[in-house]
A = this chain, B = another copy of it.
Amino acid sequence: MFKKSKYQRNILNQLSPVQLLLLFYGIAVVFSTILLSLPIAHKPDVSIPFIDIMFTAVSAISVTGLSTITIVDSFSTTGIIFLAIIMQLGAVGIMAIGTLIWLVLGKRIGFKERSMIMTDQNQTHFDGMVRLIKGIIYVLLIIELIGFLILGTYFLQYFPTAKEAYLQGFFGTISAISNGGFDITGQSLILFKDDYFVQFINILLIIFGAIGFPVLIELKEYLFRKRTEKNLFHFSLFTKVTTFTFFVLIVIGALGIYLLDMNAFFKDLTWHESLFYAFFQSVTTRSGGLATMDVSLLTETNQLFMSGLMFIGASPSSAGGGIRTTTFALAIIFVFTYIRGGNSVRIFNREVYNEDLIKAVSITLFAITLVIFSTLILTAIEPFSLEEIIFEVTSAFGTVGLSLGITSELSNISKVLIMLLMFIGRIGIVTFLLIFKRKKKKAKYHFPKERIIIG
**Which positions in A face B, CB cutoff 8 Å?**
102, 113, 116-117, 120, 214, 236-238, 241, 260, 299-301, 304-305, 308, 316-317, 323-324, 326-327, 330-331, 334-335, 338-342, 344, 346, 349-353, 356, 358-366, 368-369, 372, 375-376, 379-380, 385-387, 390, 428-431, 433, 436-438, 440, 443, 446-455
Contact B429 A324 (CB under 8 A): no
What is the copy number of this chain in the assembly? 2
Q: Smallest distance from the beta carbon of A159 to chain B beta carbons, Å? A: 40
In the complex, are the beta carbons of B324 and A455 less than 8 A apart?
Answer: yes
CB contact under 8 A between A449 and B365, given known A308-B372, A376-B304: no
In the assembled complex, the Cα of A358 lies from the Cα of B358 at a distance in Å of: 8
Are the CB atoms of B428 and A353 closer together than 8 Å?
no
**A440-B341 in contact (CB<8A):** yes
A305 to chain B: which residues have CB within 8 Å? 376
Docked Cα-Cα span, A386 to B308, in Å, equals 15
Given the complex of chains A and B, what is the CA–CA distance between A205 and B451 in angstroms? 28
- Give the dominant DSSP class at A's interface: helix
User: Which of B260, B331, B344, B362 lies in contact with A334, CB distance below 8 A?
Assistant: B362
Cβ–Cβ contact A353 & B453, under 8 A = no
A238 to chain B, nearest CB (A): 5
Q: Do B454 and A330 touch (CB < 8 A)?
A: yes
* The 7 A-B residue pairs with the shortest CB-CB distance in the complex, in nearest-first order: A430-B455, A237-B450, A428-B455, A301-B380, A350-B450, A386-B386, A359-B454
How far is A450 from B239 in the complex, measured between Cα atoms in Å?
12
Q: Verify B350–A447 contact, CB threshold 8 A.
A: yes
- Of B113, B324, B342, B443, which is within 8 A of A454 by CB? B324
The answer to whether A361 touches B351 (Cβ under 8 A) is: no
Contact yes or no, A238 B453, CB < 8 A: yes
CB atoms of A326 and B363 under 8 A apart: no
A-B contact pairs, 12 of them (CB 8 A): A116-B450, A120-B451, A238-B451, A301-B380, A316-B454, A317-B453, A324-B454, A338-B358, A353-B449, A356-B454, A385-B385, A386-B390
Which residue of chain B lies nearest to A372 when distances are taken between CB atoms in the complex?
Answer: B308
- CB atoms of A452 and B339 under 8 A apart: no
A328 to chain B, nearest CB (A): 11
